[in-house]
Every structure is written in C-alpha cells, then in structure tokens.
Amino acid sequence: MARKHLYLIDATAFCYRAFYAVQGLATSFGQPTNAIFGFTNMLNKLIKDKKPEYMAVCFDVSRETFRQKKFADYKIQRPPMPDGLSSQVPLIKEVVAAYGIPIYEKEGYEADDIIADLACQAKAKGFFTTIVSSDKDMLQLVAEDIEVFSPYKDEGVTYDADKVKERYSVEPERVCDILALIGDNVDNIPGVPGVGEKTAVSLITRFGSVEKLLLNLDRIAQPKLKSSLMDNAERIRLNKDLVSLRTKVGLEFEPEKVLFKGPDYRELFRLFKTLEFSKLARELPVEDVPEISFAQIEEVTDTESGKLLGQEGELFISGETAEDLLFCKQGRTFHVKGMGAKTGAALARPAVKKSGFDLKRLVTLLADKSLTVSGLEFDAMIADYLLNSAKPAYTLQDMAWEHLGEVVNQQKVGPLKSLELLLRLKPVLLKKLEEKSLARLFNEIEMPLVGILAEMELNGIKVDPAVLRDLSVELEGRLGQLIELIYKECDCEFNINSPKQLREVLFERLKLPVVKRTKTGPSTDEEVLRTLAADHKLPELLLEYRQLTKLKSTYIDVLPQLINPVTGRIHGSFNQTGTEAGRLSSNNPNLQNIPIRTEIGRKIRRAIVASSPQDYLISCDYSQIELRVLAHFSGDELLVKAFKQDKDIHRATAALVAGVQENEVTDQMREAAKRVNFGIVYGLTPFGLSRDLGIGVNEAGSFIDSYFLRYPKVREYMQAQVQACETNGFVTTLLGRRRYLPDIHNKNMAIRQFAQRQAVNAPIQGSASDLIKLAMIRIHERLHNSGLGGKLILQVHDELVFDVPSKSVDEFVSLVWDGIENAVQLKLPVRVIIKKGRNWLEMEEVTI
C-alpha cells in the first residue's frame, strides 16, 4: 500500500521570494498584489506538478522568537518586512484558505520550527513528508521519511540524504554542526574565525559533532585553529542551539486536517476578482453562468423587426458580427437572427440608438457590405476604457468578470451570449461612469469620436508608390555606403545586426568604455551609442545605420504593400483605447512614429498625397499645446502673459531666466529654455538637461532652479498634482478623464518617483488629447453640413490632416481654424498652425 505523502510549505519564504520576483503589480485601487500573484502561481505549479494528497502551509508570526531571547543580534541586520509585502500577507492567507490548505503558525516560533515539528509527528504516524523550502536549515531534517524540495531552479532540486551529503559532505543530522562552526550570514550568526566550510566538514567528519570536537580540542594540531575553537567554544554551543530546529513546538498533527480536498473555486474566484487577477480567474474550473433567460425575449424575422422598430428604439449589435441583433422597445426585448433590408435600414437610422462592443470595428466591417451604421450611443469597450485606462486589452469576458462577477468561457461567447452580456453590462457601466464623473466625457467626446474614427479609416490615405520606390533606392545606396564606412572604422567586417558581434567590435576590438550592462553583456542600445559617439565615429555611423534600416523596413518597403487594390488607399486603424493618457494610437501603419526630425523621415511624408493632383492636404497643428495647458492649469502670471502676448515662449523664458532682454537671447540660451519648457513636466532632471545640452550638471541644475524661481506657480502646480494623486489615487484632465496611479505609494523610490512624474504630466498630456478630440468633433459637425467635401484622414499627436478639394480650400480653412482654436476656452489663447500642400511634406503656411 502506498504511503501517505505530506507536503509542508515554507510560506514566509515563498512570500518574500514572490514579492521580489514580481514587480509593479497592484490593483486599480492601489493595493500591491505582486507577492500574492507570485505566491499563487508557485502554489498552482506545485499542485499541478506534484498533485499532493496532504498539504499544510506554515508562516512566521513575528520577528520576536525564542532565538532573539538567547541571542539579541539574531537576524538583527534584516530590515522589517516591507509595507508593500506586509499588506499582502493577510490576503495570501485568504488565498491559501480558499485553496483548502490549513495554515500553521505559533507565536515565538519560526515557520522552520513548525515544519520540523509537523514533519516529525507525520513521520511517527507513517507519513512520507516533502518540505517545500530553499532554506538550508531544513536540510538537517532530511531522513528516510523526510525530503526537502527546493522549487526555484527550473524543475527544482530534491534533497534526500545522498543529495545532502553531496552538498555538505556530511549526513543531514550533522548539517547544524557545520552551520554552528561557519555561522550563517543570512541570520547574522557569526562563525568561528578561520573556519570555513572545508575546515568545518573536516572537523565534523573527524570528530562526529561539535560537542565531541569541543571535548577533544587537545587533539587539534594547528595552534591557530585550536586557539580559535577554544576562544569561541561558547559561541559554537550557542550557534548550534540557534540553528537547530525545534521539534516540540506544541502543535498537533491531525491527518484529516491536512488532507487536501481541493480548492473552493467560488471563493477563489471572488478573491481573484477583488485582486484583479483576470487571467487566474478565467482559468478556474467554475461553471459558466447559464444563458440569461429574458422575461419576454421574442424571436422575430427581419420583416417583423422593421415594423416593430419603426423610427426609434434601442438596438444591441454583436461586436463580432451583425448577423444577430437584440432590440429593445417599450419594455420588450426582441432577437433578430439574420440581416435583412429592414434591419439594415434600422442600422442606418440615427433615431434607433446602437449599443455594442467595439462599434468602430463593426461600422467598418458593415461598410464593406454597403451597410451604414449611425446613432452610435453606447460602446462597452469605450466605457470600460474610461473606467480603467491601464488595461492591456478589453474583452467582454473580462468585463463580465469585473462588472457582473461572472466567469464566461471564451470559447462559448457566441453572438447571442455577447448581446446578452452587453444588455446587462450597459446599465452597470453607465452607473459607474456617472459615479466617477465620466459620463460627460463618455457621451460628448468618446462616443461621438467612434463614428469619426470609423469614417477616417474608411476614408483612408492616398500614397504615391513612386515616391517610396525612389526613397527605397536612395536608402539602399546610403546603407551600402554606411556598411563600407563602418567596416573601415573598425578595420574588419562583421554582422552589424548581431548584438554579440557588435559588442566584440566595440568593447574588445576598439576598447571603447562599457556604459551599461545587460544580462547578456555590455549594452549596445541607442543611449549607449549616443554616449560613445562623443569620442568615436563608429557609434554615430551605427546609429544612422539603425535608423535608416528601421525606416526602410517599417515604412518605406511596407507602405506600398498596405495599399488596398480596390480603393488605391491605405486604410489604417485608429485605436481609441490604446494609451493610458487618452491619446489615440494608430497601426497598419503607425504614422505617429515617423521620425520627422530626420531628413529621410520627413521624406516619407512626401508619399502621403491628396486625392488628386488638383486637390490639397490641409494640416492643422496645435502650437505648443501642452505648454499652453500647463500655463492654464498652473495659472502662472508670467507664463500666461507670454502666451497672451503671442511671444516666442522659449525666447521669453530664456530672457526671464537669464535676466536679459529678449533681443539679447542667443540661440544656445533659447535651446536651453526650450528643453526646460518641454521637459519640466516630464520630470526633467539636472543630469538629463546636462546630457542634452552638453553642459555641467551644476549649471543645468541652476538653470532649472532659475526656471522655477521665475515661474513659481508651475512648481506649485506640480506639487499640488502629486499631493492630489497621493490622496485620491488618480489625477484628472480638463474634461475629467481619470488616470489611476497606484504606484504613487510604492515603497520603491524609483517606481514612486515615476508615478509622481506621471501625476504631473498625465493631466497635461490628457487635456491636450481631450482638446484635439473635441476639435475633431466640432469640425466634423460643421463639415457634415457645409457641403465643402473635405475629409479628415489623419490624426497624429496634435495635428489633424484633411484631404480637401481645391475649390473649397479657403472656406475650409476658415471653418477648421474656428473649430480647432475655439474648441474650449482656456485662460490664454490656443493657436493652430494651418498649412496646405499637394503632399504632407511640401506645405506652406496659410494666413487666416
């Protein structure tokens, strides 16, 4: 008959290891969860791999144990448990309890002693015990019926008696004798001077134990060793007492109590939901909540739906397909299966309000079927994004879990189930938006923007392939030259794209200084190459090579492949939920990342052209919008005044800081002021400014201090933002958009300071985003009724690009100028620079 197998887990060690192994994880309300997450994953792996029949988890209760009473300096060098970890331990215990695993702990004893006691009792009752721990003190317990499993290296290491002897060259019961002689730095137990592990093993092998050793010191031939052992005899006896685990703690081992019957999955689900562990929750074998049976759900045909809907109603559309629809009218819910002429007409009717998930995607999909969707009222994905912009992705499954408390199997989310979830999620999400003062932002900004972005994607952008072909040839030539120059500079040929070979060339062949290291060796990233470029030409060539290679592979060779053969345009995607600050992102292609500060990067813009040679592209670019928002928020009189007087803000700042007239400001002074103006709300440091300008750190620090002296309310604003975030856990934009920053209380200074910089910057960057979104909505409304024929085709950061018929340009410019400059009233004027041109590069400014 197989012996009963018990697993005893050293939970305190697990907690610490998980805490330091997983970084930066917290809930949206600021509770750190990194240790809980890491602990749970380790526990899951143990259960999956070992399939334990009996289990128990052992915790330390406090730092004060019987060992401190015997030796006051025991573990004294260890800092108290970090606050970020101590707040998680009670929650870890809740998780352990939900797994159905008993917890053992006792005041005055360490988890090691509790494990020792339970292991010995289990052995007496015929159990085989595996101790799960990486603590070397545990090895003294290894016996015929007890092993130690250290789970942290690959598949882990199991210590039986042979493995212990291989490690320490003595039997398990003699491990504490070795430790008594050599001490334990981890626990602040000093060893005997002059006795290392090799000497200790030799002595214990010869004499059998430290007690026998101390009785036979006259047999030690080496005078120095003998003297050291004699002088530290009491230390040796105390050390052995300290490292010896107690097996009489006073706890009772009850086999029935430690029988692992399996987790309470419902309770685990509740905990994982609270802790925002969506992936772990979805993996639980909790039965799906059954399909909701609506009180009066009625199946109708397409023809019947047309009669019932009439001119108004509420239509729920599946985010994956429009083959199934639910519509609600006068308290009744109808299910329409199959798209027909009547439901198609209802989709196009603005008075029939549409609700769904990722409606922009649905609008563009249906447009391919020549179907129009209007009256977009509620998008669950957008609502969830406003409630928590930090999520990596948004799915109906996650929303069902977070907002309805239900686990939904991803494979079973068909169209009808999606519609049911949407119908139930809508009132919950709307209520939460109202509670967090986000309803206006949702209804007046984000929802109107859904249709505008869909229209932009359908409009597409026209690209001139010939321009890109010429650029590709030009780049091929330049890259060939660069390769020759690179080989000449290092006097050898190598694979430039291989980090390993590049390290060898830079740091071994050329003996350049190592700036920073990674796990694989000296770093060769952009920052390193820029630093090295000050002393050697090769890094500068490498930087140009990398930049051109990326431009060629990301844009120049790819853009022609993205042209739709039917429309002759590129139809990229604009993502409304892709950034935490509220900015739009784009992909296929990502035109926001073209490096326009370089000549080649700018030339890519030449390939973006108007619809026809007679038409124009109109570019509307907010001027220094983030600085204007900063002036508005801070209310600093001098900063606001400079903008009101339409001054060159960088020249004005330089003059103010230096105490000179504006006409005395040099280009170098203006550049320094520009760096500070743009960098101050991103946490610009003296070191960063000194690196950017090539000046001393002290000089850079003095410049920043002078800046705040002249603009004192800017510093007051920054401090107030941090304090508000520390109090509320979030910051808000001009229109109420929230950015949650749980790391504002992180004990790690670097992480906390990063959150503080975000607390200052997020309202500014987010407000700039809100302004351009509001401008897009205002312009779209006016264009819709103007008959001018212009189309919005791009939004890149603070710039809008329109494709406009030649005959409408002048009237169009006036309409757009008013819409974008007067989108919202600040304490100072908002300025927009408007340009026109046949392509996106060669444009001339338009005077209003």
Query: Is the predicted pLDDT of residue 606 greater than 80, yes or no?
Result: yes
User: Is the model's pLDDT at 568 over the cut of 70?
Assistant: yes
3-state DSSP call for residue 43? helix
Q: What is the pLDDT of residue 186?
A: 64
The SS3 assignment for 409 reads coil
Helix (H, G, I), strand (E, B) or coil at 325: strand
Taking residues 719-724, report their average pLDDT: 94
Tell me the residue type at 83.
D
Of the candidates 359, 378, 356, the one whose C-alpha atom is nearest the C-alpha of residue 367 is: 359
Q: How high is the pLDDT of residue 536? A: 87
CATH fit for domain 5-164+246-258, picks 3.40.50.300, 3.65.10.10, 3.20.20.30, 3.40.50.1010: 3.40.50.1010
d(CA 188, CA 706): 49
Residue with tokens 């120049």: 556
- 686 — pLDDT class (breaks 50, 70, 90): confident
Q: Which two tokens mark 67?
A: 């060992």
Give the CATH fold of the 610-628+733-848 domain: Alpha-Beta Plaits (3.30.70)
Q: Average pLDDT in the 116-134 region?
A: 91
DSSP 562-575: GB-TTTSEE--EEE
d(CA 416, CA 726): 43
pLDDT (0 to 100) of residue 54? 95
Contact predicate 795/774, CB 8 Å: no
Name every residue whose Cβ is closer than 8 Å to that of residue 600 and which is 6 or more positions away in sequence.
Answer: 471, 474, 475, 547, 548, 551
pLDDT tens per residue across span 817-840 = 888 877 778 899 999 999 999 999
d(CA 315, CA 307): 14
With b for 16 or more beta-carbon neighbours within 10 A and e for fewer, the 91-116 pattern comes to bbbbbbbbbebbebbbeebbbbbbbb
Burial class from Cβ neighbours inside 10 Å (0-12, 13-18, 19+) for residue 215 reads: exposed
The confidence score (pLDDT) of residue 180 equals: 79
Quote the CATH superfamily of domain 462-570+579-583: Taq DNA Polymerase; Chain T, domain 4 (1.20.1060.10)
Question: Quick one: pLDDT band at residue 289, thresholds 50, 70, 90?
Answer: very low
For 829, other C-beta atoms within 10 Å of its C-beta total 14
- Pick from 375, 376, 255: nearest CA to 311: 375
Q: pLDDT tens for residues 514-562?
A: 888 887 788 888 888 888 888 889 999 999 999 999 989 889 999 999 9
CA distance 250 to 253: 10
pLDDT of res. 532: 87
Supply the angle between the helices 809-821 and 749-786 in degrees, to the nearest 10. 140
Q: Which residue has the higher pLDDT, 298 or 550?
A: 550
Query: Per-residue pLDDT for 205 more than 90?
Result: no
Q: What is the pLDDT of residues 745-792, one digit of tens each?
A: 877 787 888 899 999 999 999 999 999 999 999 999 888 888 888 899
Confidence class for position 217, pLDDT limits 50, 70, 90? confident
**744 by DSSP, 3-state: which?**
helix
Polymer length in residues for the chain:
848
Element (H, E) at 843: strand 843-845
* Segment 432-449, tens digit of pLDDT: 999 999 999 999 999 999
822 half-sphere exposure, CB direction, 13 A CA radius: 7
Average pLDDT over residues 323-331: 74
**Rama region for 251: left / alpha / beta (φ>0; ψ in -120 to 50; rest):** beta
Q: Given pLDDT bands bounded at 50, 70 and 90, which one contains residue 291?
A: very low
For residue 40, the one-letter residue type is T
Closest-CA residue to 84 (of 42, 29, 23)? 23
In this predicted structure, the answer to whether residue 194 has a pLDDT above a threshold of 60 is yes
Reply yes or no on whether the pLDDT at 154 is more than 70.
no
Report whether pLDDT(258) > 70: yes
On the 0-12 / 13-18 / 19+ scale of CB atoms within 10 A, 362 is buried
Contact predicate 82/36, CB 8 Å: no
Lowest mean pLDDT among 85-99, 291-305, 519-533, 580-594: 291-305
**pTM above threshold 0.75:** no
Q: How many CB atoms lie within 10 A of CB 344?
A: 19
**In this model, does residue 571 exceed pLDDT 50?**
yes
Which range, of 293-297, 458-462, 565-569, 679-683, averages the lowest pLDDT? 293-297
Do 141 and 131 form a contact (C-beta atoms < 8 A)? yes
Q: Hey, where are the domains in the chain?
A: 5-164+246-258, 297-458, 462-570+579-583, 610-628+733-848, 637-710
Contact 318, 338 (CB under 8 A): no
Looking at residues 456-474, what average pLDDT do you find?
94
CA proximity to 115, closest of 158, 67, 152, 60: 60
Say if residues 55 and 260 touch (Cβ distance below 8 Å): yes
Task: Please indicate whether residue 381 or residue 412 has the higher confidence score (pLDDT).
Answer: 381
Q: What is the pLDDT of residue 758?
A: 93
CATH entry 3.50.50.60 includes domain 297-458 = no
Residue 74 has pLDDT above 90, yes or no: no
Q: What is the pLDDT of residues 389-448, one digit of tens each?
A: 988 788 888 888 888 877 776 656 666 778 888 888 999 999 999 999 999 999 999 999
Q: What element of type H or E holds 426?
A: helix 415-435
| DSSP single-letter state for residue 661 | -
Residue 426 identity (one-letter amino acid): K
Measured distance CA(33)–CA(543) in Å, rounded: 40
What SS3 class is residue 767? Answer: helix
pLDDT at 670 over 60: yes
Across residues 153-165, what is the average pLDDT? 82
Return all residues near 798 (Cβ < 8 A) that are at least 6 apart: 621, 622, 625, 768, 772
The mean-pLDDT minimum among 31-45, 154-168, 499-513 falls in 154-168
Going by their DSSP bridges, the two strands 376-379 and 461-463 should be labelled as unpaired
Same fold, 5-164+246-258 and 462-570+579-583: no
Residues with Cβ within 8 Å of residue 616, at least 6 apart in sequence = 610, 803, 804, 806, 809, 836, 837, 838
- Who has greater pLDDT, 542 or 847? 542
Q: How confident is the model at residue 104 (pLDDT cuts 50, 70, 90)?
A: very high
pLDDT > 70: what percent of the chain? 94
Helices (H), 582-696: 599-605, 625-634, 637-644, 649-658, 667-679, 686-693
Task: Give the C-alpha separation, 764 to 624, whole Å.
Answer: 12
> What's the chain's average pLDDT?
86
